[in-house]
Amino acid sequence: MADGGQESLAAFRDEIADWIDRNAPADVRGRDFDESDICWGGRNFVFKSEGQKLWMDRCSARGLTAPRWDTAYGGAGFTRAQEKVWLEELARLRVKKPLESFGLWMLGPALLAFGTEEQKRHYLPQITRGEIRWCQGYSEPGAGSDLASVQTFGADKGDHWLVNGQKIWTSYADKADWIFALVRTDREAAKHKGISFLLVDMTTPGISTRPIRLISGKSPFCETFFDDVVIPKDQIVGEVNRGWDVAKHLLTHEREMIGGGGSGAIGARSIGSVLADGDITDPHTVARAQKLEIDSLAFGLTMERYRDLAKQGGVGHASAMLKYYGTELNKDRYELLMTAGGSDALAWDGKYGALAPEWLRTKANSIEGGTSEVMLDILSKRVLELPGE
Amino acid sequence: MTALIPTEDEVMLRDAARAFCEAAGVANLRAVRDAGKPYDADLWAEMVAMGWAGVLVGEDEGGSDMGFAAANVLAEEMGRSLIASPFLSSAVIAATALRRAGRSAAAIADGTATYALALDETRKFAPEATAMEARALGNGFVLTGSKAFVAEGTSASRLLVLARAEAGLTLFDIDAESAGLSRDRLALVDSRDHAALRFEGVEATGDDVVGEVGGGLVALGPALRAGQATISAELLGLSVGAFAMTTGYLKERKQFGRVIGSFQALQHRAAHLFSEIEVTASAIAHAGRMLDADPDNADLAVSLAKARASETAGLAVREGVQMHGGIGMTDEYDIGFYMKRARVGAEWLGDYGYHAGRVAALKGQAAA
């Protein structure tokens, strides 16, 4: 669809709102949603309701699980403005997004930028239809903030790599069907220049996962072990030993997403929902709420302004600012929510639902995808051009 | 709404304004201060000639009519170089009030008049609490009372005065040389022109009323929003200017055998300040766009801008002085001028607390 200005956008809004209203089953609309309402898709996914599955299928048939991707790859070919309208109408009608996944957020964008035409046509529709659930194999015990030090090694065996090593903080590895992983394929080269970006079926012999129990009581992350895993040579994105380019591209993407709260990793619980009871009147808490409101509004405008800048030719390393600021802001928001919720907020599952585990979850926002300190380093060196030691 | 990034026209305007303001530099404010002048009249005459005084005046009155986002562009560049001028009081606030009320602003655009806004009566911004009396006399009024903090108060040729008539708050447009009016210069930290005014039976006619008798806040509202947005833009520019000066210093100053900008403790604080400035810049851009597109619904955008700009400017100058170390405390270095102007700008037309309360009220959040 072409973006023909405000008038046709208004018509588009009416059309899409009507379609949502006619097609969204009762199970996915008209209430507040929490983490348990997220549709992740995949071979082993247990749908929360029939309506959840129906909604995913109806949307994917129209390309609406990946609105901006080309129709040839299972998308709807929307412009950015149209996608915004789609999301606004979902929010207005209180309808849950049909599908969320690492395939949509991470691998898809990587394939669109670096994949072959064959790879795009093969992998992308599996993602948009919610058939294959992907996970991300980046960090290792010895490679966290210093990600380019990954040691998981793929030995060149002619038609395949033989991979051994360990990944950590692999989100939902125990539930995923495939993993995209950074694997060292050249130990002699400089650390950034010997890494390849490989795609692996999690059912391949030699792969095992072990969930990690977190402070939130949940186990969204796993350790993932590779023990003589055979990976065919065509399961690579980009060129051999050039995987860091793909990873860097994705990290930038991930940072904008985590910063913007778009990944589902960050809840978008509003401050008003907890302050609304009216019994929080002490000046300190009220002042914190006012400051948070101001900073959140200004940050929302900054996301918008950076999208406009990106359209004009990119924001480069300044996107580290979005990740830094957005995650710190979200942590502040949850600290305030806990304060406002008082003893009602302390239960694992109480008056405010899963607020306490969500609060604990937010502590990872400024660690995952590059810590706040790494973001500040990037800004200092790449944007402000302050000297190294 | 237009995107939050500058249009081509705005980029051209910015580049021209930057070149002009940088050529004058902080040295201009320093010279104004040392000479005891309100501002550099020659510099202002050049701004008038470039159409800046008429930025919000209709073309039929000789204005350039570029709009609020453009006024923000100009104010931001003036803020970067701390240029002193009647731009905000006259070309933004007064021009907006007069135009909205259907009065002529031609004298503002051509520079033959400059205006000041006589509003604050106590130490804090509180228009609704205005107490100055406007007593009816025949077809006119007699103004009695005082105004405590009037920017451009000694140099303005005309005054917009808010006073309380029997029908309610009323805005007057009077000659600054009116009989019964005395103006005392206030020596404030920013070395700019400020005054305290005393009205002792100053006569105003019915024609001097801007808008309706009793409709003073209605007449003044759009002008206040414009002024608040534009001082926010000035504070953003000031933040950017102070930050550039500070990062420049971090790259050249050596201690312990190293450039101090190589210390991570300072790098991270600089990067944090960069982030705050970027976030504030978005609020300023948004306020400008809202004032141009939908001025009657711009209250939230404007208060958001003023709150953010006041806070960010404060951080920028505190970090600026601290990172300069001892020389940051000297009059010889310019960074102190930024700190002093930031404090005045943060106070004028409502401080952080005032605008945070406005944002909370407009968002329907429990206000204190």
Q: Are A289 and B5 in contact (CB < 8 Å)?
A: no
Pick from B192, B216, B240: which residue ends a domain?
B216
Structural domain total, chain B: 3
Q: Rounded to whole angstroms, how far apart are CA atoms B77 and B226?
A: 17
**Inside any domain, residue B2:** no
Per-residue pLDDT band for A265 (boundaries 50, 70, 90) equals: very low
Pick from B216, B245, B279: which residue ends a domain?
B216
Chain B positions in Cβ-Cβ contact with residue A302 (cut-off 8 Å): 278-279, 281-282
Per-residue pLDDT band for A319 (boundaries 50, 70, 90) equals: confident
Q: What is the mean pLDDT of residues A38-47?
A: 95
Domains of chain A and any CATH numbers? 5-100 (1.10.540), 134-241 (2.40.110.10), 261-383 (1.20.140.10)
Same domain, B87 and B122: no
User: How does the average pLDDT of chain A come out, rounded?
Assistant: 90
Same domain, B249 and B348: yes
Pick from A3, A256, A286, A297 the residue to mutate for testing the B interface (most B CBs within 10 Å).
A297
For A246-268, letters b (16+ CB in 10 Å) and e give bbebbbbbbbbbbbbbbbebbbe
Domain that holds residue B19: 8-113
CB distance B306 to B236 below 8 Å: no
Domain of residue B167, CATH code: 2.40.110.10
Residues A231-261 have pLDDT tens digits of: 999 999 999 999 999 998 888 777 766 655 5
Q: Are B357 and A272 in contact (CB < 8 Å)?
A: no
B26, HSE (Cβ side, Cα atoms, 13 Å): 18
Same domain, B75 and B124: no
Check residue A275 and give its pLDDT: 64
Check residue A272 and give its pLDDT: 65
Domain of residue B351, CATH code: 1.20.140.10
Q: Rounded to whole angstroms, how far apart are CA atoms A383 and A298?
A: 21
Q: What are phi and psi of B68, to 5 degrees?
A: -70, -35
Question: Which residues of A are catalytic, by number?
Answer: 254
Q: Rounded to whole angstroms, how far apart are CA atoms A302 and A306?
A: 6
Q: Are A325 and B247 in contact (CB < 8 Å)?
A: no
Q: Rounded to whole angstroms, how far apart are CA atoms B117 and B331?
A: 30
What's the DSSP call for residue B118?
Answer: E
Chain A residue with minimum CA distance to B276: A325
Residues B146-205 have pLDDT tens digits of: 999 999 999 999 999 999 999 999 999 999 999 999 999 999 999 999 999 999 999 999
Check residue A310 and give its pLDDT: 83
**Inside any domain, residue B46:** yes
Q: Rounded to whole angstroms, how far apart are CA atoms A387 and A377?
A: 11
Q: Are A286 and B366 in contact (CB < 8 Å)?
A: yes
Check residue A119 and give its pLDDT: 97
Angle (nearest 5°) at CA A319 between A316 and A323: 160
Pick from A277, A291, A301, A375 the residue to mutate for testing the B interface (most B CBs within 10 Å).
A301
Same domain, B209 and B243: no
What would the two tokens of residue A200 be? 């692996």
Residues B91-131 have pLDDT tens digits of: 999 999 999 999 999 999 999 999 999 999 999 999 999 99
Q: Rounded to whole angstroms, how far apart are CA atoms B268 and B271?
A: 5
Q: What percent of chain A lies above the pLDDT cut of 70?
A: 92
Min Cα separation B233/chain A (Å): 14
Give one word for A289, left, alpha or beta, with left for phi > 0 and alpha for psi -120 to 50: alpha
Residues A133-189 have pLDDT tens digits of: 999 999 999 998 889 999 999 999 999 999 999 999 998 999 999 999 999 999 999
Number of helices (H), then strands (E), belonging to chain B: the values are 10, 10
Cβ-Cβ contacts under 8 Å for A92 (sequence gap 6 or more): A17
What would the two tokens of residue A62 be? 């129209």
As for the ipTM of the complex, it is 0.94
Check residue B11 and give its pLDDT: 96
Q: Rounded to whole angstroms, how far apart are CA atoms B334 and B336?
A: 5
A142-150: Cβ within 8 A, 24+ apart: A145/A370, A145/A371, A145/A373, A145/A374, A147/A182, A147/A247, A147/A251, A148/A191, A148/A192, A148/A195, A148/A244, A149/A191, A150/A182, A150/A183, A150/A184, A150/A195
Check residue A267 and give its pLDDT: 43
Residues B238-260 have pLDDT tens digits of: 999 999 999 999 999 999 999 99
Check residue A142 and give its pLDDT: 92
Q: Are B271 and A384 in contact (CB < 8 Å)?
A: yes
User: Is 90 exceeded by the pLDDT of residue A35?
Assistant: no
DSSP secondary structure letters along A84-143: HHHHHHHHHTTB--S---HIIIIIHHHHHHH--HHHHHHHHHHHHTT---EEEE--BTTB
Which amino acid belongs to residue A203? T
Same domain, B203 and B297: no
Residue B277, H or E segment: helix B264-293
Chain A positions in Cβ-Cβ contact with residue B298 (cut-off 8 Å): none
